[in-house]
Structure 1
Amino acid sequence: MTEKSVKNRKSVFEINLKPYQKKEAYIHIKSDGEVVMLPLNLYPQNQFYELSYKEQIFFGFFYGILVLACIIYLFFFIALKDKAFVHYGFYVLFIALMQFSLDGFFHEYFTPEGGWLSDRAVLLTAFISLFFFGRYGDTFLNLKTNAYFLHIAGNILSMAVALGFLVLVFVPTSLTLSYPLANFIGVMVLAHMVTCLVIMKGKNIKIDPYFIMGIVFLVVGFVVFILNNFNIIDNSFFTNNGAKFGIGLEIIFLSISMSNRIRDLRMENEQNQLLALQRAEDMNEIKSSFLSNISHELRTPLNLIMGVASSLQQNKDEENLQEKCKLILNSSENLLGYIEDILDFTVIEKGDQELRETSFNLVTSLERIINTQKKKAEAKDLKFSVVGFEALPKRIIGDKGKLAQILNHLLDNAIKFTNQGGIEILLGCKRKGRKNMVFDITIKDTGIGISEEKMSTIFESFTKKSFRDRREFSGLGLGLFIVKNFVELQGGTITLKNNSTKGVTCNVSLSYKVEEEAELPKQELVPVNGMFALEGRTILLAEDNRMNQTVVKLLFKKWNNLNLIIANNGKEALEQLEKQKVDLILMDLQMPEMDGFEATSKIRGGRANCPMEIPIIVVSADNTSKTRKEIFRLGADDFVTKPINGELLLSKMNKYLSAKASFVA
């Protein structure tokens, strides 16, 4: 018989036999690579239809579960956006389509005439279901975090599945090889999943027990299917449908595990909401605390400055003048430190922080910082020791300013929270080749330590040891937040831990490049009558603020061999340049009529009646990276931050005036 006489998913032929009649029939079977099973059964017509009805009830129940699970979990994916649900939903869909093809329903309803798709329907759906099964297991077990090497192995198997699929589609002669290939990859995917469960259990990683039971039933059903294919076990309804029983029970238990995942996600979401609510409440408290704290911290030095200044104004012959001036300077430095912390915090929050890498003498910079902090420690009768200078390279390339801020904040905290004992600093260096190094800093103190509940938030902004200590210990609570960001910006790490006895140990590692060239000899400034060799030079100050003009005038009185000309804005500065010879310009930026940006641009662009190369040092309170980039792009030579450090300004003026001849307007 060359054609089926009964339209059925199986190969069914009608045979009419009279009593005692014999007939011979020959069946020619050609395999396309799939295992061939040919149980020949003779059924009376009524018995055959009755058996078909029972099978349809079983198949309806089986496929109904799979389709329902697919639809439900795809909806869950849309609602929860968890990839495990979409992987699971598509796995269930394609495992159902594979069984649909294996049972002959795809052939019966869609391709009764056979053809390319009919021949490959089982394999195509098998490859796709294997792919989504692997992705589902990887996501559900979180292998990328829990067992990274198994995650990589799973990715390799997924690529093998995709390759098998492509070969089946695009290589016409591959059909006979695709069945053993699909079986082999299927065994490997299943073995990988079992290995994942064993290893994660060995690591005591929690796995949903229903997920394990689902995989167990899948393995049992797969084993029964293989044994039945090779006629190792007796052929029956249960052995013929062993894979279906295994897959059905697998889907049931995996669905329960997915329900547990929904419960866990819901509980996690509720926990996150509670945490967010708690954080919102904490932030409100922190903001209120911060506003109160900043008011206190800024008013305290201002109160001292104004009080001492008022005293000096009323009593011109005041005693202890030097001591009172020192109080004003110290309070001003504290005030400036708070302002700089707020500005640094603002820059970090905006994501605009960047490194200003230059070559500098590491040992000299550290000695300057440590000597300043040592005086603070000794004022509290604390011991202060430093070890490891001899192991450090002399010159490195990095951000000198940020290194100073990191050390000053950490040492300030160590001294602030230590009332007895002392502070120990250990310095170390690990070379990485000729050009790179890791600079290690360990700071140990014998202070009050950090409570466990605060240790997890110690690097967040506006946090201190506790909200209640904001009056006991001064500061804005921004220091460690700034330190953490600057350390990470320099490619380093920072850790804080309580000592076993008392106090805190802070470990900082920072990555730098080592300066290969020998240190250049310093250009000594030649003093003339006790002052530097700048006699007779004329300096133009472009500054609109009267108080800032007064500050510069007071500095120049100390340097009585320098001539100072003042312009109230950029326009006046250009007019002064037309009238007389000027050797150097001190340029403010924010001025009326014409600001410093425009004035600098006109001078460097040759649109002012003065030499284009005249040195320009910008003097401004705007120390942001954006401003620095812009002024140097316009052609400024250097930058000095307000409030002005007199010694720094004098050294910079000497640098440019000694390097260039005076310019004639």
Structure 2
Amino acid sequence: MSKKFSLTGISDIALGKDLRAENEVIGSKASMSILNSVSFFLAGVSILFLVAFQINESVSLTWFFLSEAIAFLLIPLLARQGFEKASKILLIAYADIGIIILSSVFGDDAMIQAFFIPAMGLSILLFDNTQIHLRNLGILLSILSYFILDYIIFERINMSASGFSLVRWAVLTGSFVTTWLIFNTFSQFKENAEQQTLELLKKEKELNEELSVKKEKLENYINQLEETTTELEKSTKAKSEFLATMSHEIRTPMNAILGMTHLLKQDDPRKDQLEPINILDFSGKTLLSLIDDVLDFSKIEAGRIEFENIEFDLSNLVNVILESFRTTAKNKGISLEIEINDNVPNRLIGDPARLTQILNNLFSNALKFTEEGEVKLEVSATEKAPDLAKLQFLITDTGIGIDKDRIDTIFESFTQASQNTKRLFGGTGLGLTISKQLTELQGGQITVESEEGVGSTFIVELDFGIAEDVDLGKNGGHNKDHDVSLLKGMKILLAEDNLVNQKVMKRFLERWEVDMKVVNNGKEAVDAIEECNFDMILMDLQMPEMDGYEATERIRKLDDPYKRKVPIVALTAAALKEVREHVYAAGMNDFVTKPFNPAELEQKLAQIVLNKA
């Protein structure tokens, strides 16, 4: 109940707005809306009769309908102040009184008393089934009013026809009962519908609140996911940069170690020097292999392994691999054999670097676990179409073999055939894992057949495209001695900032009777090519003052067409695909990865000379 009575809310009531006293709802919206509508309607009717009786100079009726109009206007305000039940009873009472007065004025012929039926219905609509006593009280008021009208005003009690009176009573009773049942049924239906609507609205509100909470949680999760993704991207980028830096920083000194070791072995060392040199060579290559395994495994785990699809010569690739292991095999007294079947296309399309990596790992593994006998690579085409071939690579050794109980686990990360194997032969146990993953990522498969004490055969199956054969022969159209003769007398410019690597490269090129000039950075390389003609440039990528990329771009813009087209081979310690792509984009002809394989370097230089010729 409000603290004071006010007329300021009448406009809100007239407009059918919700009736509220501060935060408390005074009545249900449906019943109070009916009360408002009926009250103002009857107020308007009373005013019409007030005007009509004023014109007829009926003072008593004028004042009566004036009081009725005021009462009907005040009833909603009374309900607004908290007297809801009393307001509804007063509305029914004033409506009944109005019907009685009008019926007495207009007589029996106007049938004004018929409006008692809507008055009964009004009682049912105003009170729900929780206020059944008040509802019945409202109906009783309408019935009593009718009897007052019937017996007192029209004096129908003295009718002589008693039978007619009984019939009349029966009809009236039936009418009242029927009306009550109809309105009560409608009211019950209305109330049930309202109750269901309220429940649905409540459920909808709860669902909306729940949805709002879940939406807020989802937004929080999305924000967290975005933050995590950003952090992951930063971490992945940092890891990639770290891998690239590690690759470069480790490969640079390894280039000097392996290069000098190779040169020492070529200088006809004394017998007492040969063993230390071989140990140094083996240890350096083993260390490089371990480093490559760890870096490649990290890249595979990070999902950053990418594959090229370029043309390459299979015979040259296999021969380079054979040369890189020939010394190790010779020192152990093991023969190396390679057999490429006639049905194998020589020019293929695929990723030569990854094929080299797979075969290197398997060759290294075979040599490591073989003390006598041979290691053999056999290549054959199991399926062949005009533009596609499925090749099978068999790497067979006569080594210690693998126990049948362990054969299913050798491709797992950091796993070897046994703990005894790890102690005897060392290694990270990543070589076979990386080979398997690289093979499967290219759509191929790798399997193994082995018998303990007899040897093992690793089988690699990969699909390659078939390129047009340039018909250079199985060894690429030239041999090692012919390559040396091709390089003899060439003028080569070496751009390299590392003094040790300068000396290593200089020693190699001097053996090949090459006329070489050495500069320390890209700027000096550009100045040197402007002053003099060279047949080829060996360009390191990371140098102070001007790197190899910028130097190459400047050389490609020189006015002299001969100097502008001079072949440039990149020397890079970063064996990443994006680096190789950058090399070609800058205008370089080829690249050699540090630490370079002397046979590979010699072959690439000779091939460039042949192409130039």
Normalising by the residue count of structure 1, what TM-score does the alignment of the two structures yield?
A: 0.45
Higher relative contact order (CA 8 A, sep 6+): 2
Query: Which of the two has greater helix per residue?
Result: 2
Normalising by the residue count of structure 2, what TM-score does the alignment of the two structures yield?
A: 0.48
